[in-house]
Chain A
Amino acid sequence: MSLAFGPDDILRIAPMFRLQWEESQDCYVLLYPEGMVRLNGSAGEILSRCDGHRSVGAIVADLKARFPEAGSLEADVYAFLSTAHDNQWIQPA
């Protein structure tokens, strides 16, 4: 699979979407006109770090520090970011 981004890319949530923690659902959700995507735990952790400031490399490092038990999560992060880009959830900042 070809990856959409490299470690130096800086990403943000696309303007069509709003990322929000929903207490009652115990997860992050992506909100858009009249709709909602419920994110699983790792998707939420990744997207909540796409803040328009941090590079993808920095996000991977941060996730490794935060979840040391997850092991090598690099490939999963890049694969998910490609999926998120295909869904137009994120874009380069």
Chain B
Amino acid sequence: MTTSGSSLPKPLWLLAELTYRCPLQCPYCSNPLDIARYTNELRTEDWVRVFREARALGAVQLGFSGGEALVRKDLEELIAEAHRLGFYTNLLTSGVGMDERRIRAFKEAGLDHIQISFQASTEELNNFIAGKDSFRHKLEMARLVKQYGYPMVLCFVLHRHNTDQVEQILDMAHALQADYVELATTQYYGWALLNRDQLFPTREQVQRAEAIAHRYQEKLKGKMRTLYVVPDYYEDRPKACMRGWGSIFLTVAPDGTALPCHAAGSLPGLTFPNVREHDIAWIWNESQDFNRFRGFGWMKEPCRTCPEQAKDFGGCRCQAYLLTGDPANADPVCSKSPHHGELQARVRAMGEGASVDGDLAPIVFRNMRASKRQIALTAGTLGYPRPLFPVP
């Protein structure tokens, strides 16, 4: 059965996670903990079919991501195909695995935008967090991105260890002539959740960083745009995650699993369709999983009667599950959630823990060996063995 019509939501944003292989080991990675299982990557022709089917449904933004998308030798070919189909193509990368020859080849293939992520503004911290000597190479790649006429977008994922560098980070971005800087707050899924106690910033750190970001937004108005978002654990209303489930966003994992967001694989009771077995139209329009939290019918109280439901869609389903044990609960970031108090208590405890680093378990870096250990620990279950808070 095919469905058409302009009233249906369209997967405007397609995120192609080409591989979970990555030369870096960032402990805040939002990839699933079981990356070592994803050995069966889609082939070039599978991806091209996915792009064609998604484009036919109205997809217009395409992100090449991972892992590190540069690991894929067919990246140039995939960019060229996506460009021919009319996508606006974004490469979200660490820059490791790139050189001038590839930057030129991407340009010729029609790539619109390269976003390079840095781990910090100093070489020492950048290389420590990345688990690899990569800072100087990233700087060189950022300069080349500018030289080849791409929009210059830099991304810094913030956490306790680099939040105090925000001023130096913004100075560095400005010196590199960035058009846009994303100060992305760590989202606590996947590896980031595993390392949450070690990564979570204090409220004072967040307030200082926010003030600095606002100062630069004013100072560099019209020259460099700075995006800064406060970690949602410190908010009292949830983020409008993915602008709603199955609303505009479609992720395809390296093995072809289709997901409404890149963290949704951790949710229980959902299997998620695979692009090897179904076309994108069926997956998006018909599959049970993409309809599971679409719209408002699935909501429980307090969301069901909340006047703000169309504004935030009840927040994030993954966060609701990870923090309360039920993905249909309100995101506990919301002060209307009965679990909000527990989250606040945990946030306070983490803030206090931040001042006594010595008592914390060591950071777990994201790599295949650590992934195999996590798989063994969770004894065959996908994702997390249990919710992080006791379910009442």
Contacts and interface: CB of A to CB of B under 8 A. Distances in A.
Nearest to A88: B222
Interface stretch (B53-61, B67-75, B165-173, B233-241): B53-61
B10 A31 contact: no
B122 interface: no
A26 B151 contact: no
Nearest to B15: A34
A36 B180 CA distance: 15
Nearest to A30: B88
Contacts of A24: 6, 10, 57-58
B179 interface: yes
Contacts of A31: 60-61, 88, 112
Given A32-B151, A33-B151, A34-B63, A22 B58 contact: yes
B61 A34 contact: yes
A25 B151 CA distance: 25
B341 interface: no
Given A26-B6, A32-B151, A33-B180, A18 B112 contact: yes
Contact of B149 (A15, A33, A34, A88): A15
Nearest to B153: A33
A15 B112 CA distance: 10
B155 to A, nearest CB: 10
B385 interface: no
Contact of B90 (A20, A29, A34, A88): A34
A20 B10 contact: no
Contacts of B10: 24-25
Most buried by A among B6, B88, B151, B153: B88
B295 interface: no
A15 B61 contact: no
Contacts of B151: 15-16, 32-33
A33 B113 contact: yes
Q: How large is the interface on B (under 10, 10 to 19, 20 to 34, 35 or more residues)?
A: 20 to 34
Given A15-B149, A16-B151, A29-B60, A36 B86 contact: no
Interface string B5-38: 0100010110000000000000000000000000
A36 B90 CA distance: 13
B115 interface: yes
Contacts of B60: 20, 22, 29, 31, 36
A26 B5 CA distance: 12
Contacts of A34: 13, 61, 63, 90, 113, 115
A31 B149 CA distance: 16
A43 B90 CA distance: 25
A36 B12 contact: yes
A36 B92 CA distance: 17
Contacts of A20: 60, 86, 88
Contacts of A22: 58, 60
Nearest to A20: B86
A15 B107 CA distance: 14
Interface in A35-93: 35-36, 88
Nearest to B182: A34
Contacts of A35: 61
Interface in B88-132: 88, 90, 112-113, 115
Interface in B210-246: 222
B37 to A, nearest CB: 28
Contacts of B222: 88
B254 to A, nearest CB: 21
List of 10 A-B pairs having minimum Cβ-Cβ separation, nearest first: A24-B58, A31-B88, A33-B113, A16-B151, A33-B153, A33-B151, A34-B90, A16-B179, A33-B90, A18-B88
